[in-house]
Structure 1
Amino acid sequence: MNRKLLSLFGVISLVYFTCFSSLRYLHAETVFLDRHEHSSQLHGTKVQFLARDLESGIDYVLADSDLTTRHSPFSTFKIPNMLIALETGVSTSPDHWRDWDPVKRPAEEFWPDVWKQGQTLEQAFARSAVWYFRDLALEIGTEAYRDYLTSWAYGNSEVPEGSDHFWLGDILKISTREQVDFLEKLVSGELGVSRANLDSLERASFQGSQASISLHGKTGTGPDQGGAWEGRFSGWYVGYLRRTEKRPVVFALHVSAPSFSALSSFRKAFSLTLLQDAGLITSVQFEP
């Protein structure tokens, strides 16, 4: 009887070890980054930040960050959107060209000049040209979006029927932690996306390098009150560090600020400052 119990215990132990050793890690350690050290930069803002080192399993969190409240992804949604466009064949390649139709998509006052022209998918990603991705959304369709976003556990995965702007308001929402979880699956090759399409995103999102590290990222922003361009704005900088000798670092920063100008350059710059605080990069300077 004791031998049987011992054998059963051995089987259970083996199953337990096999299951849990297959996980990359259990995020057992969290390092908190000092918020007060940056109080002068944070005046008037609300900032949440999480970086995850996939090599060590350590989460680096800006102290007192709210990582669970969901927000509109705004243009950070161009990361999954580009992948979905390529995977469905709606875009045949990152060089897929679309003409801008000023009748269908009339320019708004805040549009930069680079939006007011035809462009490729890769250019539209880099320029954050909203009209291009709204056109894509109509061709991709509601069901495809729902299927992909649900399988990827992307925020609340909500997509209204026929919408071409669901990522720009209060419908599709995602938290800071969920952004990082999604990016972890992305860089770990767990989204079921082809290698060629991942490489296309890698090129489009490239934002510079230092030593053996390349930076990939995407910003996103919008007014806290729809159409209130003179009021508070919220925004993101999300991305990852690709390292030649270690697994990547994935990160997300969400910020609410008094105005667009207060967060425009702040998002990326402060993200790099925190990555340096965490010892994950040696400098905030990246060569194009």
Structure 2
Amino acid sequence: MTSLLCRLGVLIALGFSGPALAQSAVELDRSPHAEQIGDRQVSFMARDLETGTNYVLEGSSVDARRTPWSTFKIPNLIIALETGAAESLQTDLPWDPARRPASGYWPQDWRQDQTLQTAFQRSAAWAFRDLAAEVGSDVYRDRLSAWAYGDAEVAEGSDLFWLDHTLEISPREQVDFLDRLLSRELGVSEISFQALDDVSLSGDRPDGALHGKTGAGPVELSDMNGRFEGWYVGYLVREDRAPIVFALHAEASSFSGIRTFRREMAERLLSDVTARIE
């Protein structure tokens, strides 16, 4: 499959200028999805980078900031590569059980050594906490402030600031970040772009190649059996057209209520978006 970088190069040559385009807004009807949404709280926003048009699900709170959870692995992977904390997707990240003892909720594939690639794809939190300790708080604050990534809050010495309600970001800010990232406005190297493109590929759809990252955690940090919130954030790469970037945030009474729902709902809404564009 042709890489995102090659396709963006073609689009730039054709005059695609990214987020500088004037933005308009289209509301997506919520009623066709009411049964699937049920009693969940759902917000969704997508942006067609070719036209600058925003598509927002009716009733969404796109400016409410939330913990990014594992969707932060998108900027975290880039920062790790750009700072040299990791040399490539194949960089070894050994698990030290004494330093990072397994919690009861850990899946089996966390309880082993990782590479940067497997840590991203398996969402192994401990591996990115190790990387965060190496990168350092000052670097994160500088990068996230320059990138306007949410509130850019990073507690001094913290290796879990994206997991403990310190760092927060809204769906609109997630979309803005991906817009600037894919439009090459953040000074990110071609190598890091390609690594993200490779590791985030989630499957092919009739309307393009889907790239994304999930994230989830308890609304109250101390209550793993209570309400959960979750994200699915990413971009849809289309042939000969600029990508669509998107962010979905959902909250439900438990993790099971969002586990598969977040991606499934995002894909349904992306289909609504591309149908409106066609």
Say yes or no: TM over 0.5: yes
Residue 146 of structure 1 corresponds to: 141
Following the alignment from structure 1 to structure 2, what is the Cα–Cα distance between the partners of residues 22 and 193?
15
**CA pair 40-34 structure 1, distance change in 2 beyond 3 A:** same
Correspondence for 2:85 among 69, 86, 90: 90
Residue 162 of structure 1 corresponds to: 157
1:139-158 deviations in whole A, cap 9, x for unaligned?
Answer: 00011001100000000000
Residue 14 of structure 1 corresponds to: none
Following the alignment from structure 1 to structure 2, what is the Cα–Cα distance between the partners of residues 179 and 81?
14
**Map 1:106-121 → 2, pairs under 5 A:** 106-121=101-116
Gaps (5+ residues) in structure 1? 1-20, 283-288
Deviation beyond 3 Å, 4+ runs, structure 1: 21-24
SS in 1 for 2:144: helix
| Percent identity of paired positions between Structure 1 and Structure 2 | 51
Residue 180 of structure 1 corresponds to: 175
Residue 215 of structure 1 corresponds to: 210
Q: What is the CA distance between 1:25 and its match in structure 2?
A: 1.4
SS in 1 for 2:158: coil
Q: Which has the larger radius of gyration?
A: 1
Give yes or no for contact 2:200–2:213 (8 Å, CA) kept in 1: yes
Amino acid at match of 1:24: A
SS in 1 for 2:156: coil
Q: Tell me which of the two structures has the higher relative contact order, counting C-alpha pairs closer than 8 angstroms and 6 or more residues apart.
A: 2
SS in 2 for 1:184: helix
Correspondence for 1:30 among 25, 29, 45: 25
Amino acid at match of 2:22: L
Give yes or no for contact 1:275–1:281 (8 Å, CA) kept in 2: no
Give yes or no for contact 2:19–2:179 (8 Å, CA) kept in 1: no
Following the alignment from structure 2 to structure 1, what is the Cα–Cα distance between the partners of residues 18 and 107?
47
Q: What is the CA distance between 1:56 and its match in structure 2?
A: 2.1
Following the alignment from structure 1 to structure 2, what is the Cα–Cα distance between the partners of residues 39 and 240?
24
CA RMSD of aligned residues (A): 1.6
Amino acid at match of 1:149: L
**CA pair 23-71 structure 1, distance change in 2 beyond 3 A:** closer
1:162-199 deviations in whole A, cap 9, x for unaligned?
Answer: 00000002110000100000000111111101000110
SS in 2 for 1:71: coil
Amino acid at match of 1:131: W
Q: What is the CA distance between 1:211 and its match in structure 2?
A: 4.7
Give yes or no for contact 2:208–2:237 (8 Å, CA) kept in 1: yes
Q: What is the CA distance between 1:201 and its match in structure 2?
A: 0.8
Residue 187 of structure 2 corresponds to: 192
Residue 225 of structure 1 corresponds to: 220
Residue 202 of structure 1 corresponds to: 197
Amino acid at match of 2:155: P
Give yes or no for contact 2:18–2:180 (8 Å, CA) kept in 1: no
Amino acid at match of 2:21: Y
Q: What is the CA distance between 1:37 and its match in structure 2?
A: 2.0
Residue 253 of structure 2 corresponds to: 258
**Map 1:65-144 → 2, pairs under 5 A:** 65-144=60-139
TM-score (norm 2): 0.91
| 1:54 pairs with 2:49 | yes
Residue 7 of structure 2 corresponds to: none
1:27-69 deviations in whole A, cap 9, x for unaligned?
Answer: 0x21111112211111221000001001122111001111111
Give yes or no for contact 1:95–1:120 (8 Å, CA) kept in 2: yes
